[in-house]
Amino acid sequence: MAEALAVSLLAQRCEGCGSELAPRLLTCPSCRKLVHGKRLTQLAADAQAASERGAPLEALALWREALDLLPPGSAQHAQVTARVTALSQQADAQGLAVPLAEAERKRSGMPKVLASMGAVGLMLWKFKFVLALLLGKGKLLLLGLTQASTLFSMLFAVSVYWTMWGWSFALGLVACIYVHEMGHVASLRRLGMKADAPMFIPGLGAFVRLKQVPVDEREDARVGLAGPIWGSAAAVVVVVAAVLTGWKALGAIAHAAAWLNLFNLVPLWQLDGSRGFRALARKQRWLAVAVLGATWFATGENLLLLIGGVAVFRALLTPASEKGDLRTLVEYSALVVGLGALGWAAQHWTGATAAL
């Protein structure tokens, strides 16, 4: 009886009609009043203030929080979704998707040669700062290590791989997977979305659980391809280290990292490549297929045949974006070519082959 009374006292009631509300309701079933009306008003005011003082990413995060408190299909939900989409597109247009380079851009700006290259230049500019992050202090990379679930699952994964391939390969492989997953986390944070730190599952890699979902295909592609972009940068660092030191274990780690990131570009299920393909128009999908075929011909990497086969299926038989997204096509194509070449280089320059 005492427990039932406590639950009753803690039950939320509608501010409009006083009806008792279930925990997950967003509108009162009796009077249709928004359950979180006061909180929504405060979030809207805070978001507006953030926009006025020139903090669009803060405003974006606040509007996303408001979106979670609004019933899907309502007029208010549609209005806030439009605000989130506009701010997210603004972040893309202004280069806010790379806040780690914000201070540097204010001092020097993007080189004119790269700026004139449009989406290709943006891809190269982003990759430069991802490499700078990995070679610098990398505070964001330390973020996940402060979470017990991430740290202990990483240690467990290392112990499993250690028994199979030795400690050096195990540590390097898990580190590269971690960087890949933190790329997703970084992209989510830059777009104002909440997400947990990575969790490792030996044999399956790792995953990041989203607490909020992208509002459109473009955002989904940004988040999805951020992982392979960061993972590619990590693999480049390892390849360079392998060439400089002559340590074949590093070459094997780089080859495995390139292969795993390339595998994630398969446009299937919840893999990163599938997120990217959702944002591509049908003609863009066929261009991606052509890039896959050309890269396979140049490198002989048979994994590209699998990716290409699934890409052909997606181009022929699944719904495609009407407008498409050029930046997604450029990033996906650059990843295919770069990872194909990186895997080849890791194997031939260092004389090492991945154990996977």
For residue 284, the one-letter residue type is Q
pLDDT at residue 159, as a whole number? 95
SS3 state at 21: strand
Output 29 or 324, whichever has higher pLDDT. Answer: 324
CB atoms within 10 A of CB 203: 9
pLDDT exceeds cutoff 90 at 267: yes
Q: Do 354 and 172 form a contact (C-beta atoms < 8 A)?
A: no
Please name the residues in contact with 116: beta carbons below 8 A apart, sequence gap of 6 or more: none
Residue that is written with structure tokens 């955002």 in the block: 219
The model's pTM is 0.81
pLDDT at residue 280, as a whole number? 98
pLDDT digits over 122-181, tens only?
A: 555 555 555 555 554 466 677 777 888 889 999 999 999 999 999 999 999 999 999 999
Residue that is written with structure tokens 């052909």 in the block: 312
pLDDT at residue 21, as a whole number? 74
* Cα(316)–Cα(308) distance, integer angstroms: 12
Q: Do 229 and 130 form a contact (C-beta atoms < 8 A)?
A: yes
Please name the residues in contact with 341: beta carbons below 8 A apart, sequence gap of 6 or more: 295, 298, 299
CB atoms within 10 A of CB 1: 5
Please name the residues in contact with 56: beta carbons below 8 A apart, sequence gap of 6 or more: 50, 87, 90, 91, 94, 96
Output 13 or 292, whichever has higher pLDDT. Answer: 292
Q: What is the mean pLDDT of the chain?
A: 83
Among candidate residues 299, 283, 282, 310, the one with its CA nearest the CA of residue 337? 299
Interior/surface letters 32-67, b for 16+ CB within 10 angstroms, e for the rest: eebbbeeebeebbebbeebbeeeebbbbbbbbbbbb
- Give strand ranges (E) for the chain: 12-13, 20-21, 199-201, 205-207
Please name the residues in contact with 320: beta carbons below 8 A apart, sequence gap of 6 or more: 280, 281, 282, 285, 314
Q: Name the helix (H) or strand (E) containing 235.
A: helix 217-245
Sign of CA dihedral 178, 179, 183, 185: positive
pLDDT at residue 17, as a whole number? 79
pLDDT digits over 30-86, tens only?
A: 777 888 888 899 999 999 999 888 888 889 999 999 999 999 888 899 999 999 999
